Amino acid sequence: MRHMPVRILPVFCLLALLLASGCGQKQSASGDLEVVVTFDDVSGLEPGDEVRLRGLAIGKVSSMELGDGNVNVHVTVGESYRGVITSGTSFKMKRANPVLGGRFLEVDPAEGEPVKSGHIFEGERSLLGRISETMSGAKDLLGNAELRSAVEDFGSKVKDAAGQGREEWEKRKPGLEESAQKIVDLTKEKAPKVADWVKQRLQEIMDAGDDQFPEADGSTI
Integer Cα distance of 166 and 175 in angstroms:
15
**Residue 28 confidence (pLDDT):** 44
- Using pLDDT thresholds of 50, 70 and 90, give the confidence band for residue 188: confident
Tens digit of pLDDT for each residue in 101-130?
Answer: 678 999 998 899 999 999 999 887 766 666
Integer Cα distance of 91 and 121 in angstroms:
8
Please state, rounded to an integer, the average pLDDT across all residues of the chain: 76
Integer Cα distance of 27 and 168 in angstroms:
51
**Residue 26 confidence (pLDDT):** 40
Integer Cα distance of 33 and 171 in angstroms:
41
| C-alpha dihedral (98, 54, 37, 205), degrees to nearest 10 | -50
Q: Which residues pair with 50 in a beta bridge?
A: 60
pTM: 0.55
Closest residue by Cα to residue 74 from 96, 91, 56: 91
pLDDT of 221 > 90? The answer is no
pLDDT of 216 > 50? The answer is no
Show me where the domains of the chain are located: 33-122, 127-210
Give counts: helices (H), strands (E), the chain: 5, 7
**Residue 30 confidence (pLDDT):** 66
Helix pair 195-210, 145-162: axis angle to 10 deg = 10
